[in-house]
């Protein structure tokens, strides 16, 4: 019998070799999930913008599908010790850091909390052995892979990543920082980091995920995070996409919210040749609320796609979405926002806004903020804008003596600041201010304006 | 006589000015001379060109000067970029001050003061010096100092925005202040505060051009001259009493007397 | 010319529709002898239609080209719209049905009295002495135009207003130049079908510098059971001209669905303006969702000349399914496109409607105001695209979409697509969804206004901005339609 070679065979081969070498220590249920995910991925493949696939209408993942990424799980870890975290990532004196190199946990670089620490913060491989019960209940239960090829692929390679468990009633003061570092290698590598965050009733925590590159070499980051926000819990989540400009980054956050819970997500995206930020929030209980903020700044030929789905499944839930983009060069930004209000989800209060600043003739914005509403007693709205810096605002500042360049920088920064100012963690905000302020694109005079 | 006045007696000399916005000519041959220490009120019906005049003087890009000249302290004002006009001492208090989200008032004002001082070959103010200056002027403009920590004009009430314009004028310390209906939309208390700020600013070396729709503000800021602007030209000039007469009789009598056709 | 093998049969249409329901007062059936083609679609049917209409060879060839393209689409309708319906059997439809008349009516007196009566009942008198003041009407019954009023008055000014069939014969140079120039035969599934089998429709040409003194109106009426209606409308406003065009539609109540797939093309040359208003009141089906018209319509205008303007206003209260996106291609510099819409769904109606504004020229402006009202089990989707091309310096768009929900079984959806490829452009989109404001309701009730009436007043107010874009009589009619369509939805 001749075996039919499909284009996904390389993934199957990588899967099998890992399964042989690593699987023995892992529980059977994990191996089952991986196996199911792999067969689902083989069926689904990577998404295409073919007819009817509205979720990928403006983003072509062909470059990811066609590239020959090597799964870097077993890559050499020489030089690990030489990495100085403080120089490459936001840093806080009291933060708990878990570091992953090419998707694999680095014991050397991480600072796990002591046993007296209120929460459990560890790597998944460790958690498989010691936190089986919580894991089995939640892992891959929220980020399902039935209809999403990237999540299916991530789940096929689900072996390492982060596990955070905040027990009921615990309030964790210091932020927990998960740092995913692509070290770079001769051959383009792929990693599929996985994070599970489970927070108990009345708990409180701040979690930061940073994705960082140490070299300009191309790689593929396919990260999936599952977050369970317990009843009355308050969780702040930050995600920094600071990949290099050759990278492909597909990031998915799947959030489940309990009663009266509060979830805040803030995304900062600056890197990646092709970036996709998926956030899916399921407001599955009355009184739950989420605030999703995002700031992305692109230049060159970067492509950044934010796809945010807020699912109001139960009554009396609240959601706010506020995304902003600054586009320069020939870059392209895509925004797809969906607010769904399911039948019976009355007293829903939802509002989404996507604003884009275009700084160059060749930049492009595609925005699709949808509302799908099946309940009557609701208050929903959305707004989207795209355009250049306002000429009247520039004139106002010039009439106070500022030159065009300074005026436009202040305005662009002012545009970005609305998102940066929402950051509650002081060292992180300072880091972001520097990062974004230092990289503001220069202003160019465009059609219709005279010096 | 000081040195500036030696160079030129007038702060502002406008000769046969024509200004167009888009296809339409709004200012059609306007002449006006303003000397140091003087306050000129410009009144006129809606659409007569009052706002166009002050915006053109400040250099707003959409306002195109097609003819005529404007000398500011003997210099060709029209050749200067808007920011250079500001640094030379021309200040426009906007009729509708813009909201600049994310741009903090404090930071904005500090940058502006630094730009103006650098232009005048003065050294930049330290944060402490600037704070002292700001605190002093805030008292005059009677602004809640918390406002300076917020985004410029964002969420400010109408009165707060106008007082913020006066604050900026006091901080930047120009020579020529162009006030574009700074009195409109103010209640009597706010109006008094604005007038108080302007009177504080008034002085032998300063010149003020005050565009207004109502003579009410002239009860608090006594003008040296009142001009009536119609159809893009100054058609009548008088003293304080002219404003009162306008309030009583409207504009039609001037229209008739000066032969300006009704649109 | 190739002869067709298909033949038509004459039959009298039954007077009973099989449904007794008083809510839809346009639901009567007219007894007229009709010339009906057999059910089904094939090349012979296309040839038959062309032959029946005595068309020139070039027209037949265009139809056949469209038909052959349609075959390649394998009956695969567009799938992206938020509508659900059982598969349409395209072989179970009559593609041609015309009231029998010896030859085309030479004068109004020669028009079948049954037809005149039918239009009278619809409030569209065709007789000379009774015709609507200030409105020239082209009355389309099933597949053909039966009468056009005021033709002479218009001719004096050089305005051509006639049926499409007549235009193909009398003004082939204009038809050949512009037909398919805005909506090509390959544009989409339904437009392709229409291009192959369109039966009639209206044609208007306004010569340079002429301001059309009266409103032009086409009234569409589906009568025949199981018949599809495929009209084609083409309006050309030459340089510096102006025309206001109205369109009304009704159909009898029938248990089975009827397919309506029309194409409208508008062309505005330099400084010309076309204002196109629609009251769409096809039979919406009954309370259980049985019957009703499937309305798949392609409407598009090309603001070709500089400073030209095309404005669409629609009030959509009818049809079981509405799939319709009146659009404007803003090609000329400084051209303007507008879309004003009220779409109401009740019972089991589904509407997926909106617009496409494609900015190509410099300083082009577009405005979109869409109001959706959902009641019963209805689902209403606004779907709109604003596309700003790299060439469109200083383009401006403003979009406002508001949805009202009445009851908890309906749906209101807003799906805008925004594509901006020029930084000097500015576009802003705003949308809201809510139910009727309780405080407003209470305020009106407190002033003694009954609950139902208060609801109607608020909803009517919600639509007022759109209604005011309509010519006066149409606006009154629209208000009435709203009231009738809303009956029994509240309280």
In the block, residue with structure tokens 């006006």: B32
- Position C97 confidence tier, pLDDT thresholds 50, 70, 90: confident
Among B residues 43-82, those touching chain A with beta carbons less than 8 Å apart:
58-61, 81-82
When mean pLDDT is compared across A53-67, C21-35, C364-378, C413-427, the lowest value belongs to C21-35
Contacts (Cβ under 8 Å, ≥6 apart) of A176: A95, A96, A98, A119, A121, A164, A205, A206, A207, A208
CB-closest option in A396, A415, A417 to B98: A396
C-alpha to C-alpha distance for C223 and C142, rounded to whole angstroms: 6
Where does a domain end: A285, A310, A335? A285
Instruction: Report residue C456 as tokens.
Output: 């109607």
CA distance B253 to chain A (A): 37
CB contact under 8 A, C414 and A382: yes
Instruction: Report residue B5 as tokens.
Output: 């006045």
Query: With 60 as the cut, is the pLDDT of residue B15 above it?
Result: yes
CB contact under 8 A, C434 and A379: yes
Q: Which residue does chain A place closest to B178, by CA atoms?
A: A399
Q: Does A52 touch chain C (CB under 8 A)?
A: yes
Q: Which residue does chain B place closest to A409, by CA atoms?
A: B103
CB contact under 8 A, A400 and B86: yes
The residue that leads in pLDDT, A212 or A50, is: A212
Question: Which 3 state secondary structure label does DSSP give A124?
Answer: helix
Are residues C205 and C78 in contact, defined by beta-carbon separation less than 8 angstroms?
no
- Position B5 confidence tier, pLDDT thresholds 50, 70, 90: very low
Are residues A328 and A270 in contact, defined by beta-carbon separation less than 8 angstroms?
no
CA distance B52 to chain A (A): 14
Chains B and C touch (3+ CB pairs under 8 A): no
Q: What are phi and psi of C67, to 5 degrees?
A: -60, -45
Question: Tens of pLDDT along C227-242?
Answer: 778 989 999 999 999 9
Q: Distance of alpha carbon C186 from its chain centroid, rounded?
A: 20
Q: What does each C-alpha distance from B157 to B150, B153, B185 come to in angstroms? A: 13, 8, 10
Res C144: pLDDT: 66
- Position A445 confidence tier, pLDDT thresholds 50, 70, 90: very low
Q: What is the DSSP string of A321-372?
A: EEEEEEE-TT-EEEEEEEEEE-TT-TT-EEEEEEEEEE-STT-EEEEEEEEE
Which domains are present in chain B?
Answer: 3-258 (3.40.50.300)
Nearest to A338 by CA among A361, A306, A364, A362: A306
C-alpha to C-alpha distance for C90 and C359, rounded to whole angstroms: 36
* Stated pTM of the model: 0.85
Q: Which residue does chain A place closest to C374, by CA atoms?
A: A376
In the block, residue with structure tokens 């507008």: C338
Res C167: pLDDT: 94
When mean pLDDT is compared across B23-27, B246-250, C364-368, the lowest value belongs to B246-250
C-alpha to C-alpha distance for A213 and A246, rounded to whole angstroms: 10
CB contact under 8 A, C416 and A368: yes
Res A239: pLDDT: 97
Res B7: pLDDT: 47
A415 inside domain? yes
C-alpha to C-alpha distance for C199 and C229, rounded to whole angstroms: 8
Q: What is the distance between the terminal CA atoms of chain C, rounded to a whole angstrom?
A: 63
Query: With 90 as the cut, is the pLDDT of residue C351 above it?
Result: yes
Query: With 50 as the cut, is the pLDDT of residue B3 above it?
Result: no
Residues in A closer than 8 angstroms to B85, CB to CB, are 399
Q: Does C439 touch chain A (CB under 8 A)?
A: no
- Name the helix (H) or strand (E) containing B118: helix B105-119
Q: Which of A367-376, B7-16, C6-15, C477-486 has the highest mean pLDDT?
A: A367-376
C-alpha to C-alpha distance for B93 and B82, rounded to whole angstroms: 14
Question: Which 3 state secondary structure label does DSSP give A233?
Answer: coil
Q: Does A384 touch chain C (CB under 8 A)?
A: yes
Instruction: Report residue A177 as tokens.
Output: 């920082």
Q: Which residues are C344's β-sheet partners? A: C373
The residue that leads in pLDDT, A71 or A62, is: A62
Q: Which residue does chain A place closest to C376, by CA atoms?
A: A376
Number of domains observed in the structure of chain A: 2
Residue B55 sits at the vertex; the CA angle it makes with B51 and B59, to the nearest 5 degrees, is: 165
Question: Which 3 state secondary structure label does DSSP give A220?
Answer: strand
CA distance A381 to chain C (A): 4
Same domain, residue pair A424 and A281: no
C-alpha to C-alpha distance for B201 and A54, rounded to whole angstroms: 61
CB contact under 8 A, B100 and A404: no
Question: Tens of pLDDT along A279-335?
Answer: 999 999 999 999 999 999 999 999 999 999 999 999 999 999 999 999 999 999 999
Are residues C410 and C379 in contact, defined by beta-carbon separation less than 8 angstroms?
yes
Q: What is the mean pLDDT of residues A24-40?
A: 88
Nearest to A411 by CA among C397, B148, B152: B152
Query: With 50 as the cut, is the pLDDT of residue B178 above it?
Result: yes
Q: Does B85 touch chain A (CB under 8 A)?
A: yes
Residues in B closer than 8 angstroms to A401, CB to CB, are 83, 86-87, 112, 115-116, 119, 172
Query: With 80 as the cut, is the pLDDT of residue A75 above it?
Result: no
Residues in B closer than 8 angstroms to A451, CB to CB, are 81
Q: What is the mean pLDDT of residues C355-379?
A: 96
Q: What is the DSSP string of B193-256?
A: HHHHHHHHH--TT-EEEEE-S-GGGGGTS--SEEEEEETTEEEEEE-HHHHHHHHHH-SHHHHH
Q: Does C437 touch chain A (CB under 8 A)?
A: no
Q: What is the mean pLDDT of residues B122-142?
A: 92
Residues in B closer than 8 angstroms to A399, CB to CB, are 58-60, 82-83, 85-86, 91-92, 94
Where does a domain end: A285, A313, A346? A285
Instruction: Report residue C466 as tokens.
Output: 């759109």
Q: What is the DSSP string of B157-178?
A: -HHHHHHHHHHHHHHH--SEEE
Res C250: pLDDT: 67
CA distance A429 to chain B (A): 15
Where does a domain end: A261, A285, A309? A285
Q: Which residues are A357's β-sheet partners? A: A326, A387
Question: Tens of pLDDT along A208-267?
Answer: 999 999 989 999 999 999 999 999 999 999 999 999 999 999 999 999 999 999 999 999
Q: What is the mean pLDDT of chain C?
A: 85
Contacts (Cβ under 8 Å, ≥6 apart) of B222: B39, B240
Contacts (Cβ under 8 Å, ≥6 apart) of A142: A226, A227, A228, A254, A255, A256, A282
CB-closest option in A363, A368, A447 to C418: A368
Res C111: pLDDT: 66
Res C130: pLDDT: 62
Res A451: pLDDT: 35
CA distance A373 to chain C (A): 5
Contacts (Cβ under 8 Å, ≥6 apart) of A221: A180, A182, A190, A191, A193, A211, A243, A247, A248, A249, A250, A251
Question: Tens of pLDDT along A305-318?
Answer: 999 999 999 999 99
Res B6: pLDDT: 47
Are residues C310 and C303 in contact, defined by beta-carbon separation less than 8 angstroms?
yes
Residue B62 sits at the vertex; the CA angle it makes with B56 and B68, to the nearest 5 degrees, is: 40
CB contact under 8 A, A414 and B103: yes
Question: Tens of pLDDT along C232-285?
Answer: 999 999 999 999 998 887 666 667 788 889 999 999 999 999 999 998 888 888
Query: With 50 as the cut, is the pLDDT of residue C102 above it?
Result: no
Same domain, residue pair A59 and A188: yes
Dihedral (CA of B82, B86, B92, B98) sign: positive
3-state secondary structure chain C: CCCCCCCCEEEECCCCCCCCCCCCCCCCCCCCEEEECCECCCHHHHHHHHHHCCCCHHHHHHHHHHHHHHHHCCCCCCCCCCCCCCCCCCCCCECCEEECCCCCCCCHHHCCHHHHHHHHHCCCCCCCCCCCCCEEEEEEECCEEEEECCHHHHHCCCCEEEEHHHHHHHCHHHHHHHCCCCCCCCCCHHHHHHHHHCCCCEEEEECCCCECCCEEEEEEECCCCCECECCEEEEEECCCCEEEEEEEEECCCCCCEEEECCEEEEEECCCCEEEEEEEECCCCCCCCCCCEEEEEEEEEEEECCCCCEEEEEEEECCCCEEEECCEEEECCCCCEEEEEEEEEECCCCEEEECCEEEECCCCCEEEEEEEEEECCCCEEEEEEEEEECCCCCCCEEEEEEEEEECCCCCEEEEEEEEEECCCCCEEEEEEEEEECCHHHHHHHHHCCCCHHHHHHHHHHHHHHHHHCCCCHHHHHHHHHHHHHHHCCCCC
Dihedral (CA of C464, C469, C470, C472) sign: positive
Query: With 70 as the cut, is the pLDDT of residue B262 above it?
Result: no
When mean pLDDT is compared across A412-421, B12-21, B59-68, C10-19, the lowest value belongs to C10-19
C-alpha to C-alpha distance for C325 and C411, rounded to whole angstroms: 19
Dihedral (CA of A101, A107, A109, A114) sign: positive
Q: Which residue does chain A place closest to C80, by CA atoms?
A: A52
Nearest to C414 by CA among C133, C96, C82, C169: C82
Q: Which residue does chain B place closest to A415, by CA atoms?
A: B102
The residue that leads in pLDDT, A87 or B26, is: B26
Query: With 60 as the cut, is the pLDDT of residue C22 above it?
Result: no
Q: What is the mean pLDDT of chain A?
A: 89
Q: Which residue does chain B place closest to A422, by CA atoms?
A: B102
C-alpha to C-alpha distance for A175 and A93, rounded to whole angstroms: 10
CA distance A407 to chain B (A): 9
CB contact under 8 A, A399 and B86: yes
Range of the domain at A190: 9-285
């Amino acid at each position: 019998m001749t075996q039919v070679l499909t284009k996904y065979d390389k993934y199957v081969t990588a899967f099998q070799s890992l399964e042989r070498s690593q699987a023995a220590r892992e529980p059977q249920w994990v191996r089952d999930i991986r196996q199911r995910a792999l067969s689902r991925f083989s069926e689904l493949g990577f998404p295409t913008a073919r007819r009817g696939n509205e979720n990928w209408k403006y983003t072509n993942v062909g470059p990811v599908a066609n590239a020959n990424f090597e799964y870097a799980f077993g890559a050499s870890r020489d030089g690990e010790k030489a990495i100085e975290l403080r120089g490459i990532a936001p840093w806080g004196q009291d933060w708990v850091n878990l570091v992953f190199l090419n998707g694999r946990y680095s014991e050397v670089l991480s600072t796990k909390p002591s046993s007296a620490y209120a929460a459990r913060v560890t790597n998944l491989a460790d958690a498989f052995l010691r936190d089986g019960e919580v894991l089995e209940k939640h892992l891959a239960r929220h980020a399902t892979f039935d209809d999403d090829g990237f999540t299916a692929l991530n789940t096929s390679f689900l072996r390492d990543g982060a596990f955070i468990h905040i027990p009921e009633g615990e309030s964790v003061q210091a932020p927990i920082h998960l740092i995913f570092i692509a070290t770079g290698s001769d051959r383009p590598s792929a990693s599929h980091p996985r994070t599970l965050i489970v927070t108990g009733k009345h708990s409180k925590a701040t979690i930061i995920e940073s994705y960082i590159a140490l070299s300009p070499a191309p790689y593929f980051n396919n990260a999936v995070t599952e977050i369970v926000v317990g009843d009355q819990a308050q969780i702040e989540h930050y995600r920094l996409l600071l990949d290099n400009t050759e990278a492909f980054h597909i990031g998915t956050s799947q959030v489940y919210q309990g009663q009266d819970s509060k979830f805040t997500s803030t995304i900062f995206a600056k890197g990646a040749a092709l970036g996709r930020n998926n956030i899916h929030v399921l407001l599955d209980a009355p009184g739950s609320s989420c605030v999703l903020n995002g700031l992305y700044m692109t230049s060159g030929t970067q492509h950044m796609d934010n796809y945010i789905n807020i699912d109001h499944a139960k009554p009396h839930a609240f959601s706010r979405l506020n995304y902003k983009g600054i586009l320069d060069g020939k870059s392209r930004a895509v925004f797809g926002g969906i607010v769904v209000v399911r039948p019976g989800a009355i007293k829903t209060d939802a509002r989404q806004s996507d604003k884009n600043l275009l700084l160059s003739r060749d930049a492009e914005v595609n925005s699709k903020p949808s509302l799908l509403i099946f309940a009557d007693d609701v208050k929903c709205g959305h707004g989207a804008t795209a355009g250049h810096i306002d000429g009247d605002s520039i004139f106002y500042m010039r009439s106070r003596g500022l030159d065009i360049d300074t005026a436009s920088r202040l305005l662009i920064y002012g545009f970005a600041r609305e998102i940066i100012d929402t950051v509650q963690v002081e060292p992180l905000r300072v880091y972001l201010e520097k990062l974004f302020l230092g990289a503001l694109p220069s202003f160019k005079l465009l059609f219709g304006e005279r010096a | 006589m000081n040195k500036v006045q030696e160079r030129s007696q007038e702060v502002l000399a406008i000769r046969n000015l024509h200004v167009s916005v888009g296809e339409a000519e709004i200012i059609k041959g306007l002449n006006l001379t303003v000397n140091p220490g003087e306050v000129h009120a410009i009144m006129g019906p809606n659409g007569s060109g009052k706002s166009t005049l002050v915006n053109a003087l400040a250099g707003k890009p959409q306002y195109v000067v097609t003819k005529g000249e404007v000398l500011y302290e003997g210099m060709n004002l029209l050749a200067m970029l808007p920011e250079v006009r500001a640094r030379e001492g021309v200040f426009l208090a906007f009729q509708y001050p813009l909201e600049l989200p994310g741009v903090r008032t404090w930071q904005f004002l500090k940058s502006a003061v630094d730009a103006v001082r650098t232009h005048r070959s003065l050294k930049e103010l330290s944060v402490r010096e600037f704070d002292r200056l700001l605190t002093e002027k805030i008292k005059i403009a009677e602004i809640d100092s918390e406002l300076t920590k917020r985004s410029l004009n964002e969420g400010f009430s109408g009165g707060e925005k106008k007082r913020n314009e006066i604050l900026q004028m006091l901080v930047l310390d120009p020579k020529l202040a162009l006030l574009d209906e700074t009195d409109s939309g103010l209640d009597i208390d706010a109006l008094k505060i604005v007038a108080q700020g302007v009177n504080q600013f008034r002085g032998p070396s300063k010149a003020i051009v005050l565009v207004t729709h109502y003579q009410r503000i002239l009860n608090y800021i006594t003008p040296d001259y009142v001009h009536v602007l119609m159809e893009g030209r100054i058609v009548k000039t008088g003293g304080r009493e002219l404003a009162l007469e306008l309030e009583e009789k409207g504009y039609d009598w001037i229209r008739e007397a000066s032969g300006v056709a009704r649109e | 010319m190739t002869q067709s093998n298909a033949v038509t049969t004459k039959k009298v249409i039954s007077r009973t529709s099989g449904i007794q329901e008083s809510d839809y007062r346009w639901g009567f059936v007219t007894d007229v002898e009709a010339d009906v083609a057999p059910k089904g679609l094939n090349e012979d049917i296309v040839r038959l239609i062309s032959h029946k209409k005595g068309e020139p060879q070039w027209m037949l060839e265009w139809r056949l080209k469209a038909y052959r393209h349609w075959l390649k689409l394998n009956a695969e309708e567009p799938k992206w719209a938020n509508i659900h319906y059982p598969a349409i059997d395209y072989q179970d439809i009559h593609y041609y049905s015309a009231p029998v008349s010896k030859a085309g009516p030479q004068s109004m007196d020669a028009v079948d009295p049954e037809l005149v009566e039918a239009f009278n009942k619809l409030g569209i008198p065709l007789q000379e002495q009774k015709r609507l003041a200030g409105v020239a009407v082209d009355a389309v019954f099933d597949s053909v135009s039966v009468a056009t009023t005021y033709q002479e008055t218009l001719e004096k000014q050089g305005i051509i207003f006639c049926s499409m069939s007549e235009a193909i014969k009398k003004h082939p140079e204009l038809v050949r130049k512009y037909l398919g120039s805005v909506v090509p035969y390959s544009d989409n599934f339904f437009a392709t079908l229409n291009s192959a089998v369109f039966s009639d429709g209206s044609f208007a040409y306004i010569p340079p510098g002429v301001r059309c003194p009266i409103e032009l109106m086409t009234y569409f009426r589906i009568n025949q059971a199981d018949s599809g209606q495929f009209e084609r409308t083409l309006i050309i406003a030459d340089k510096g001209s102006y025309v206001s065009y109205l369109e009304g539609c009704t159909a009898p109540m029938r248990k089975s669905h009827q397919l309506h797939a029309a194409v409208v093309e508008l062309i505005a040359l330099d400084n010309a303006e076309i204002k196109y208003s629609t009251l769409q009141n096809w039979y919406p089906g009954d309370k259980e969702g049985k019957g009703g018209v499937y309305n798949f319509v392609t409407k598009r205008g090309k603001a070709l000349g500089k400073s030209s303007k095309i404005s669409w206003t629609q009030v959509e209260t009818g049809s079981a399914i509405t799939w319709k996106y009146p659009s404007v291609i803003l090609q000329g510099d400084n051209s303007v496109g507008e879309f004003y819409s009220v779409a109401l769904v009740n019972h089991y109606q589904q509407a997926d409607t909106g617009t496409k504004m494609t900015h190509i020229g410099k300083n082009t402006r577009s405005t979109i105001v869409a109001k959706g009202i959902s009641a019963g089990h209805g689902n209403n989707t606004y779907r709109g695209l604003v596309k700003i091309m790299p060439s469109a310096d200083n383009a401006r768009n403003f979009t406002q979409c508001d949805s009202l929900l009445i009851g908890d079984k309906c749906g209101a959806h807003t799906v805008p697509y925004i594509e901006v490829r020029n930084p000097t452009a500015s576009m802003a989109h705003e949308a809201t969804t809510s139910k009727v404001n309780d405080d407003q309701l209470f305020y009106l009730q407190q002033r003694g206004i009954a609950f139902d009436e208060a609801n109607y007043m608020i909803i009517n107010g919600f639509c007022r901005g759109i209604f005011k874009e309509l010519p006066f009589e149409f606006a009154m009619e629209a208000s009435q339609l709203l009231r009738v369509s809303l009956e029994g939805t509240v309280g």
